Structure 1
């Protein structure tokens, strides 16, 4: 885990850390203001004098156990609300001339209980990907941090006999956001095994999580890349190196096809599925098609065979769906 970005909502809190030499105040400083804390002690003991400093020291000591607290980043608002309620309660106790030492200790215990009941952040899942569900908020410093993992996943190697089927699944082991997830596919031809983005060219309209090539031909040898995007921001990039083997070469030229399956939301009506199109292709064309999870083609395109080491030419044809 490593620091990702500091929370911009708490600049005054960072200043207060220096002024009050108070790591023990960490969570308190992140979620309350200097004015609120000062006002509480002034109500307890007056606006000035040695008792005011003693009150501040007691406040610091009471919250010492919350110094290094880390919480789920999405739970910040809940913790902020709890601290807001705490400050109101302390002011009421101060007006009633209660003991600040007792009040602070009781308040700290309640806050510890609140923190324990918050939803915890998930653990980082190696080896790659930006895992927003594992993001944490750190009280000591008032900043957020995420998993220190690369965006690019290791290359997965696949050797397939010519004429057979190759399948790539663009999935990760960590939880993805539930909405705004999209997929995009790219290809580096000529037998290149790489993660260098300069070698890749887009495969138009291939936007599903599952890709299949059938039958595999020599022109398919190379690296396929799938990017998982959340709201157009990359979450992870997966790589699949396809090594075509001619050991059991199938007879005939056949028609190659790459199918990208989009993820359908649970409960989506099957009436939205498209039917089987009739693709137009040249005599040596290799059809690339996007399918729904049941395998029904909904989009076709032609991937021509003139592939080079760094690029390939492609021609996209969109067809009306037939029921």
Structure 2
């Protein structure tokens, strides 16, 4: 430290008590220039910026969080695209390597069960999947030996498309809007009823015309 080096240089020049006080003043100046460490942000991750020096034990203390974040449930249809984000609520260095992994058909945090999908550097820390498959997606922030955090996403994949499901819901709501005491008429029933009424009217018209033509002539009046 600078203070210890200062004491070593001053031991032959000044009394020890004077040199010690000057060294303490140097230390306090250095400490006053330090920024306050940010608070640890739960629930996971190695957060170097939040590391503090504990005077009572004379050692550096890190946030007491695991590297593995809790598994997040993601609900998705099998024929839609989904984007997962490997971001964390604390500051990370730029150009940090990000590795994406996948464990098919299971919900797990066991790294031995994952297969690597891709690796990238820096922004954006995201992965877009087309036609997702049931299983756990994991992302690792940092190199294997210098990992800052690992996030896990369990994909709950259901069959059918979003459009088809919305169509079924619309039909269901339309049925619910009908009064309980009546049922909708079918188009074919309405057409048959109209034709029958029209035919009946035509028959009545023909009968009336026939009666008019069949009316006997009036007898001649006497002169």
Q: Same fold (TM over 0.5)?
A: yes
Contact 1:83–1:111 (CA<8 Å) still a contact in 2?
A: no
Q: 1:114 aligns with which of 23, 26, 30?
A: 30
Q: Which residue of 1 aligns with 2:13?
A: 92
1:182 aligns with 2:103: no
Higher-Rg member (1/2): 2
Structure 2 unaligned segments of length 5 or more: list them.
165-223
Q: How does 1:163-242 map to 2 (within 5 A)?
A: 163-178=79-94, 181-190=96-105, 192-203=106-117, 205-207=118-120, 209-214=125-130, 216-217=131-132, 220-230=133-143, 232-242=145-155
CA distance in 2, matches of 1:134, 1:151: 15
Describe the SS at the equivalent of 1:92.
Answer: coil
Counterpart residue number, 1:160: 76
Which runs of at least 4 in structure 1 moved beyond 6 Å after TM superposition? none
Q: CA deviation at 1:182?
A: 1.0
Unaligned 5+ segments in structure 1 are 1-79, 95-99, 252-323
TM-score using structure 1 length: 0.43
Mapped contact 1:162–1:249 kept (Cα < 8 A): no
Q: Aligned to 1:188, what secondary structure does the other structure show? A: strand
Q: Which residue does 1:244 correspond to in 2?
A: 157
Between 1 and 2, higher relative CO (CA 8 Å, sep ≥ 6) is seen in 2
Root-mean-square deviation (Å): 2.8
What SS class does the counterpart of residue 93 from structure 1 fall into? coil
1:123 to 25, 28, 39: 39
In 1: Cα distance, 2:80 partner to 2:154 partner: 16
- SS at 1:108 equivalent: helix
Residues 1:202 and 1:110: Cα distance change in structure 2 (over 3 Å): closer
3-state SS of paired residue (1:118): coil
Name the residue aligned to 2:2.
81
Cα separation, 2, equivalents of 1:224 and 1:210: 12
Number of residue-to-residue matches in the alignment: 161
